[in-house]
Amino acid sequence: MAARTSPTERQKRLGAEVRRMRTAAGMTGEYAAGLLGVDRGKISNIESGTRAISAERLRTLACNCDCDDDAYVDALVEMAQPGERGWWEKYRGSLPAGLLDIAELEHHAVRLRSVHLIHMPGLLQSSDHARAVFKAGLPPLPEHEVALRLAHRLERQRILEREDPTEYVGIVHEAALRMQFGGRKVARAQLEYLFGTLEWPHVTLRVIPFDAGSFPGAGQTVVYMEGPVPQLDTVQIDSAHGPEFLDQEAQLSKYRAQLDWMERHALSPTESYAFIQDIATRL
């Protein structure tokens, strides 16, 4: 199989896990190459995500690395399976790769947790609200770019509407609820749109009110994507230059603690619903 020129974040993650497994066992790249019957360069390509690894070779490597965590190995094998082309691939070459990576990681996550301090959760945005957010970017996006981003965002939301929907827990600060992207009318419609999504049993939204005081973190949007096993969790944070993805255990632990703090200090789902309803009636 030919090497990839631009691996996705998920493909890079699989390669990074292969490298972690190998180095944790003290196995050299040369030894791994001999074990798997490939040249040393292909091991480097596998570990960088630019070349695929078969399920058989992955299990052989895990066995010889004395990795006895069957759930973890099975999850890696699942990641290595050649799958159908994801819907997000039709945007490749038209939208930044980071946006496609978000969609792919969300698609495969078993559970999502997020915290939003200024913006509404992307998965819960109405089309008018999302359009207003995209139009607020600097430098301003041309109309066709806004339309592409809007279409992509709305397709991302399908993970909450499919037959086997993803469980989603969102923490939203009061500031995000009071922001009026698109004006008062759009802002009120956005809050009313939230009420519809909150009827889904797999969606939970909780509010951090202003009077909760200070909170941990740097004020970024944080999305915690839970994998089939904890070792394969991923954190995505927003930045001015695009999404960043974190997967080191120390980083995952830090953001789990931040989300746990937010959930402890947020209003209950019932209280949050009433809180959002009160803001909506005052708009």
Cα distances (Å, whole numbers) of residue 116 to 214, 255, 274: 15, 13, 19
Q: What is the pLDDT of residues 164-205, one digit of tens each?
A: 999 999 999 999 999 999 999 999 999 999 999 999 999 999
Are 227 and 193 contacting, i.e. CB atoms less than 8 angstroms apart? Answer: no
How much of the chain is in helix, strand and coil states, percent to nearest 5?
55, 10, 35
CA distance 101 to 7: 10
Positive or negative, the Cα torsion across 42, 47, 48, 51?
Answer: positive
Cβ neighbours for 226, distance < 8 A, ≥ 6 positions apart: 109, 110, 111, 112, 113, 233
pLDDT score recorded for residue 3 = 60
Q: What is the pLDDT of residues 76-97, one digit of tens each?
A: 999 999 878 999 999 999 999 9
User: To the nearest whole percent, how much of the chain has pLDDT over 70?
Assistant: 99
CA distance 77 to 8: 17
Q: What is the pLDDT of residues 25-67, one digit of tens each?
A: 999 999 999 999 999 999 999 999 999 999 999 999 999 999 9
Provide the β-strand partners of residue 116.
Answer: 172
CA distance 130 to 145: 13
- In this predicted structure, which of 86-90, 240-244, 269-273 has the lowest mean pLDDT? 240-244
* pTM score, whole prediction: 0.94
Pick the CATH number of 87-282 from 3.40.50, 3.30.870, 3.30.70, 2.10.240: 3.30.870
Backbone angles phi, psi at 194, to 5 degrees: -60, -40
Average pLDDT estimate for 197-226: 93
Q: What is the mean pLDDT of the chain?
A: 95
Can you give the residue ranges of every domain in the chain? 9-80, 87-282
- Give the CATH number of domain 9-80: 1.10.260.40
